[in-house]
Structure 1
Amino acid sequence: MDDVRGHAVNGNTRRPGRLRIGVVGAGRVGAVLAAALREAGHEIVAASGVSDATLARIDALLPGVPVADPDEVVRAAELVLLTVPDDAIGPVAAGLAKVEAWRPGQLVVHTSGRHGIDVLAQSGAAGIVPLAIHPAMTFTGTSMDRARLIDAVFAVTAPPGMLPIAQALVVEMGGEPVVIEEWDRPLYHAALVHGANHVVTAVAQASGVLSRIGIEEPARVLGPLIHASVDGALRDAPGAVSTLTGPVVRGDAGTVAAHLRALEGQPEALFAYRSMARATADLALSGGRIGPAQYADLIATLGTEGMGD
């Protein structure tokens, strides 16, 4: 591995207020955030990675940055981007503590939506300054992600007195910081997963159904409808009642029954349809789009099969 201590990008002297930043886990998120901070004038001193994909990403997004072992990255940096999977944050931080890589006052940023700062505080990395900065955005690990960061929301959690540092880093990357309390992080992240990741699952299932009946380009059928629905729901958030469409908000239990019969040969889509139709019926009832009698008919039609106790 390269000796990264004292490394300077292109031999340039850093501007005042700029940090020496190391990346432990230069995956899709870490490499992109590091590139954004580099654009803001910070110095990326080293990055860790072993897979061919990670090494290629470092070369493409962080040209000239040396690749080093995680402990070497940490020792060379003033701020460490610890961009590893959620479940690995604590163990990796603890492992680096065992080899005495951390030092007091060092800024350590993880990008997990689920975790706040406790995951770092409990890792045995004594004296570090833990920051949780989660971009509410999907990443491809390519240069196109840089534009996506502009005006994206970042959830920030930090110790008392350190919040301005986390917020400033977000602003430097072009994002908008939103403060999330430690205890609210799991609920915050669950909302994002449900609203974004599960939409992808629903689209994949719907595309599969259309493909099975011979539609060669499901995206052409679903695209305009999905974009209109999502745009309308976001405009109407958090209730999103006025933009609801479809048989449930019409109280059309007969159509829902026909859908259930048609989906019997596709259990995954059937289960998801039942679950979301129930949730849609609840939303429609609470928003006054359907009455109690229509709601009862819909729930009876949807039944309890596959829903557990």
Structure 2
Amino acid sequence: MSKLGFIGAGPVGTAFAVNLSKRDYQIIGIFDVIREAAQRFANDVSRCQIYEKAQDLADSADMVFITTPDDIIPKVADGIKWRTGQSAVHCSGASTVHSLETAREQGAMVGAIHPCQTFAGREQAIANLPGSTFAIESEEPLKTTLTEIARALNGDLVYLTSEDKALYHAAACIACNYFCTLVDIATDLWQNFGKSKAEAAKAYIPLLQGAVNNIASIGFPGCLTGPIARGDVKTIQSHLVALEKYAPDILPLYRELGLKTIPIGIAKGTLSEDKAEELRSLLENELK
């Protein structure tokens, strides 16, 4: 069994180590510049040693996971003396294996395994990691090893090239991070009719869960609901009037999202071409 070590004791590294340890992977140690973070990590993982130096951990491990912020992955990799046959792995969605080039030049195998998942904190990360989709960038034989890790975590797989990574990560940001931004904008609007942001969030949780359930169970385009899916031109017009009055800064975003939603309604079959043209005209005229 390969010996796995981690550099970086944040939520992602902790989630991988805890879950892999439960599946009989040997996690030998952790190094982090913050001693308290390393201690929390070690407390969560059976028989995990705290290393005082990254090099000492790398010397003891067969596979080193660099689970630091993306921008310092190359710096960490550059600071280690690697050995032939060792594996250097990071878990970034945007960074490519080129950030591990120093390790490759010294004879190590390099790869990336990114969980397409949201990690707001340690406990939530540990709970959410199993069952995620894992994006893997590597060459054989490490590619097979990372595939086995993903399957051990009950995950789905997608194999990427370095050229794919930026667009893959941008898409994930749109689906997850900017989803949060949209909900934040929507909840702020409630203050215009005397209700709190907290009340809005509470009201939207079942709505959002229903939307996600529809995507999971029905898929696109059938999951789309709402006025554009129904071709309710007057409803969209009333939205534009209200936003012009209370939140004019949101109007450009609303119009662009509406225009992007029209093709989904057409594909679903509930939005006629005539109504679609009316909606386009309404939304595009507002853009002029």
| TM score, norm. by length of structure 2 | 0.85
Q: Give the partner amino acid of 1:145.
A: A
Show structure 1 runs of 5+ residues with no match: 1-16
SS in 1 for 2:144: helix
Q: Which runs of 4+ in 1 moved over 6 A?
A: 304-307
Query: Is 1:228 equivalent to 2:210 in the alignment?
Result: yes
Query: Is 1:281 equivalent to 2:262 in the alignment?
Result: yes
- For residue 184 of structure 1, what is the aligned residue in structure 2? 164
- For residue 31 of structure 1, what is the aligned residue in structure 2? 14
Residues 150, 259 of structure 1: alpha-carbon distance in 2 compared, 3 angstrom cutoff: same
Q: Give the partner amino acid of 1:70.
A: A
Q: Of 104, 107, 120, which residue of structure 2 is paired with 1:127?
A: 107
SS in 2 for 1:220: helix
Q: Give the partner amino acid of 1:221.
A: A
Residues 270, 71 of structure 1: alpha-carbon distance in 2 compared, 3 angstrom cutoff: farther
Query: Is 1:77 equivalent to 2:57 in the alignment?
Result: no
Shift of residue 59, structure 1, vs aligned partner = 4.8
Task: Say how many residue pairs are matched.
Answer: 284
| Conservation of the 8 A alpha-carbon contact between 1:94 and 1:124 | no
Residues 245, 83 of structure 1: alpha-carbon distance in 2 compared, 3 angstrom cutoff: same
| Conservation of the 8 A alpha-carbon contact between 2:11 and 2:125 | no
Q: Give the partner amino acid of 2:262.
A: A
Q: Give the partner amino acid of 2:265.
A: A
Query: Is 1:89 equivalent to 2:73 in the alignment?
Result: yes
| Conservation of the 8 A alpha-carbon contact between 2:38 and 2:50 | no
Percent identity, aligned pairs only, is: 29
- For residue 50 of structure 2, what is the aligned residue in structure 1? 66
Q: Of 174, 191, 196, which residue of structure 1 is paired with 2:176?
A: 196
Query: Of Structure 1 and Structure 2, which has the larger fraction of its residues in helix?
Result: 2
SS in 2 for 1:205: helix
- For residue 12 of structure 1, what is the aligned residue in structure 2? none
Give the distance between the partners of 1:82 and 1:221, measured in 2 at CA: 40
Give the distance between the partners of 2:202 and 2:4, measured in 1 at CA: 44
SS in 2 for 1:112: coil
SS in 2 for 1:154: strand
- 1:45-85, Cα deviation, whole Å (9 max, x unpaired): 33222347734642542475314233332223211111122
Report the more deviating stretch, 201-210 or 289-298: 289-298
Report the more deviating stretch, 175-184 or 80-89: 175-184
| Conservation of the 8 A alpha-carbon contact between 2:19 and 2:130 | no
Q: Of 272, 276, 282, which residue of structure 2 is paired with 1:295?
A: 276
Q: Give the partner amino acid of 2:183.
A: V
- For residue 190 of structure 2, what is the aligned residue in structure 1? 210
- For residue 47 of structure 1, what is the aligned residue in structure 2? 30
Shift of residue 134, structure 1, vs aligned partner = 1.0
| Conservation of the 8 A alpha-carbon contact between 1:57 and 1:142 | no
Query: Is 1:153 equivalent to 2:133 in the alignment?
Result: yes
SS in 2 for 1:303: helix
Shift of residue 102, structure 1, vs aligned partner = 1.4
Give the distance between the partners of 2:285 and 2:141, measured in 1 at CA: 51
Give the distance between the partners of 1:268 and 1:67, measured in 2 at CA: 51
Shift of residue 294, structure 1, vs aligned partner = 1.9
SS in 2 for 1:301: helix
Shift of residue 28, structure 1, vs aligned partner = 1.0
RMSD: 2.7
Q: Give the partner amino acid of 1:214.
A: G
Shift of residue 113, structure 1, vs aligned partner = 1.7
- 1:269-300, Cα deviation, whole Å (9 max, x unpaired): 43332221111012223443323332222122
Query: Is 1:175 equivalent to 2:175 in the alignment?
Result: no
Q: Give the partner amino acid of 1:49.
A: D
| Conservation of the 8 A alpha-carbon contact between 1:81 and 1:109 | yes
SS in 2 for 1:230: helix
| Conservation of the 8 A alpha-carbon contact between 1:93 and 1:125 | no
- 1:179-232, Cα deviation, whole Å (9 max, x unpaired): 334433333323322222222221121112124423342133212222112211
SS in 1 for 2:113: strand
Give the distance between the partners of 2:36 and 2:235, measured in 1 at CA: 48
| Conservation of the 8 A alpha-carbon contact between 1:24 and 1:80 | yes
